Amino acid sequence: MAILLDGKKTANDLNEITRNRILKLKQRGIVPGLAVVIVGEDQASQRYVRNKHKLALKLGVNSIIKAVPATVTENQLLNLIAELNHDQTIQAILVQDPLPTRLNEQKIMQSISPEKDVDGFTTTNVGKLYLNHSGNYPVACTPKGIMTLLQQYNISLRGKKAVVIGRSAIVGKPMAALLVNAGASVSILHRYTNDITEYTQDADIVISATGVLRLLDSEAIKSGAVIVDVGQNLDENGHLVGDVDFETVRQKAAAITPVPGGVGPMTIATLMQQTVDLTEWGATNDE
């Protein structure tokens, strides 16, 4: 039976560390500021933003939500981000996905100052990640949260065979880079991979981020593998589940993340962690 990688508990522990860091900053007269820009009325996006805002306030972050209508023009949105880039009370900026398809998402994301890019999506910060830069820079929150969770459970990555299913800029690609930087040998699988089991059955670590219900069953993994499920799907009964057939895979794996309660809480906790990181790095540079 697999060990459950409890993201909820690990996130709570991380949030407590973040709260204490914020208290120390406030003693110096510094309050971390997070601005979340949300475009339109997407219900899932609004729910995510509310959850982020609620936790930020609970931890002591100055959290503001910039809600703009779906009719916003690209220039208006770029001007809003420019204002936030120059706002000295804001250390972290996040633009919530998805954006209306008529907007150039890449252009908008790249307009965020790298020093305030809490999601780690700008080319500057992505480049530092891929080069394994030794300095301070933010990394995509979900992959970084996964790395924190694996570290919490003392799961070694050096010399291991790892598979990442999904090649998005938000999860798959930065996840692969972090694993490579940690000493793992990594394969990235995607929709054009002919047979994913050719890779997953030989992998020590499998990270699935596809949103495909029951993509992996027990036959798709080897005994003793570590399984990280980033997927979020609804099953036939309307219950939130991941990409992995949890009940069968947990019998064979060494460790596995549940859905919910695995990767999700780590993502938002990492967002708060990196908001404080950016604040501390900026304060050090100003001294």
pLDDT in tens, 153-188: 999 999 999 999 999 999 999 999 999 999 999 999
Residues 81 and 190 in one domain: no
Residues 171 and 211 in one domain: yes
**Annotated catalytic residue within 6, 66, 91, 96:** 96
- Specify the amino acid at residue 197: T
Within a domain: residue 11?
no
Predicted confidence at residue 42, as pLDDT, reads 87
pLDDT of 287 above 70: no
Within a domain: residue 248?
yes
Within a domain: residue 167?
yes
Could you tell me how far CA 95 lies from the centroid of its own chain?
14
The predicted model scores a pTM of 0.96
Exposure on the CB side of residue 50, measured as CA atoms within 13 A = 7
24 in catalytic set: no
pLDDT of 57 above 90: yes
Residues 157 and 80 in one domain: no
- Which of 40, 42, 97, 104 shows the shortest CA–CA distance to 68? 40
What total of structural domains would you count in the chain? 2
pLDDT in tens, 211-259: 999 999 999 999 999 999 999 999 999 999 999 999 999 999 999 999 9
Last residue of one domain, picked from the residues 114, 131, 159: 114
Q: Classify burial at 248, counting beta carbons within 10 Å of its beta carbon; exposed 0-12, middle 13-18, buried 19 or more.
A: middle
Within a domain: residue 9?
no
Residues 178 and 257 in one domain: yes
Residues 153 and 236 in one domain: yes
Within a domain: residue 127?
no
119 in catalytic set: yes
Cα separation, 283 vs 287, in Å, equals 6
**Annotated catalytic residue within 119, 204, 229, 245:** 119
Residues 171 and 251 in one domain: yes
Residues 109 and 147 in one domain: no
**Annotated catalytic residue within 6, 52, 117, 274:** 52
Within a domain: residue 217?
yes
Mean pLDDT over the full length of the chain: 96
Residues 53 and 103 in one domain: yes
Residues 202 and 239 in one domain: yes
pLDDT of 63 above 90: yes
pLDDT in tens, 67-102: 999 999 999 999 999 999 999 999 999 999 989 999
52 in catalytic set: yes
For residue 58, the domain's CATH number is: 3.40.50.10860
For residue 167, the domain's CATH number is: 3.40.50.720
Q: Which domain holds residue 250?
A: 141-264
Residues 251 and 145 in one domain: yes
Residues 147 and 227 in one domain: yes
Instruction: Determine the angle formed by the axes of helices 43-59 and 263-286, rounding to 10 degrees.
Output: 50
pLDDT band at residue 286 using 50, 70 and 90 as cut-offs: low
